[in-house]
């Protein structure tokens, strides 16, 4: 099946394709300029964005919202990760954590909607890990160069895409989406 991911971020679509293609789902990036949705939680942002897109995207589609939550910073930058990345960036985050505990987690919430569904279906993926002492790697995007997933010694930006996807918050949410689609779809639509 073909599935649209509505995003302006080609990295996200590439990750989704890496996660879902092996499961028989072909992800197509679909960009629709949309108003900024900000809310207290990733779930709300993803849900509102998916609902706003209804009628503007043909067929089944999904959106995601993701954030980095640093424990020593009370969850900062959290739902504002994209903004914080654009302003203070990795250098700013590392400066804030100088001498502080490094525990952090990435979270991703996917909102899936298809014609006939009254509300988006939400799926959450979490990847625990820690903030590196310095940026490393050229892959990925956003805070990837400073995030080391639990059990690894390399950052998300250093890991091959397939390995990142197997571990990452987005990969885990996408895995749940694939399982849900497989289990909830009439056989004829598979």
Tell me the C-alpha distance between 86 and 24, whole Å.
35
H or E element in which residue 122 lies: strand 121-131
Contacts (CB under 8 A) with a copy of itself, residues 62-81: 73-78, 80
How would you classify the pairing of strands 77-78 and 121-131?
unpaired
Q: Tell me which of 22, 92, 101, 160 binds a copy of itself, using CB under 8 A.
A: 92
Query: Could you confirm whether 65 is annotated as catalytic?
Result: yes
Q: Which of 88, 126, 136, 166 binds a copy of itself (CB under 8 A)?
A: 88
Contacts of 87 by beta carbon, 8 Å cutoff, 6+ apart: none
Q: Is 40 in the site for a copy of itself (CB under 8 A)?
A: yes
Query: Measured from the CB of residue 44, what is the shortest distance to a copy of itself in angstroms?
Result: 9
Query: Which residue in the list 26, 64, 65, 144 is annotated as catalytic?
Result: 65
| Sign of the CA dihedral running 53, 46, 136, 155 | negative
**Contact residues: a copy of itself, CB under 8 A:** 35-36, 38-40, 73-78, 80, 83-84, 86-88, 92, 95-96, 98
């Amino acid at each position: 099946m073909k599935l649209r991911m509505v995003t302006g971020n080609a990295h996200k679509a590439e990750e989704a394709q890496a996660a879902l293609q092996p499961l028989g789902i072909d992800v197509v990036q679909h960009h629709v300029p949309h108003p900024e949705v900000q809310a207290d939680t990733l779930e709300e942002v993803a849900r509102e964005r998916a609902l706003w897109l209804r009628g503007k995207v043909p067929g089944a589609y999904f959106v995601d919202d993701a954030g980095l939550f640093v424990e020593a910073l009370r969850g900062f930058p959290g739902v504002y990760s994209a903004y914080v990345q654009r302003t203070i960036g990795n250098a700013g985050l590392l400066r804030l954590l100088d001498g502080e505990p490094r525990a952090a987690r990435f979270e991703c919430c996917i909102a899936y909607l298809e014609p006939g569904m009254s509300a988006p279906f939400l799926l959450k993926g979490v990847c625990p890990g820690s903030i590196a002492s310095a940026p490393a790697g050229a892959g990925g995007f956003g805070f990837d160069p400073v995030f080391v997933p639990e059990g690894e010694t390399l950052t998300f930006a250093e890991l091959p895409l397939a390995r990142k996807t197997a571990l990452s918050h987005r990969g885990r949410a996408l895995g749940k989406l694939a399982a849900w689609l497989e289990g909830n779809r009439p056989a004829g639509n598979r």
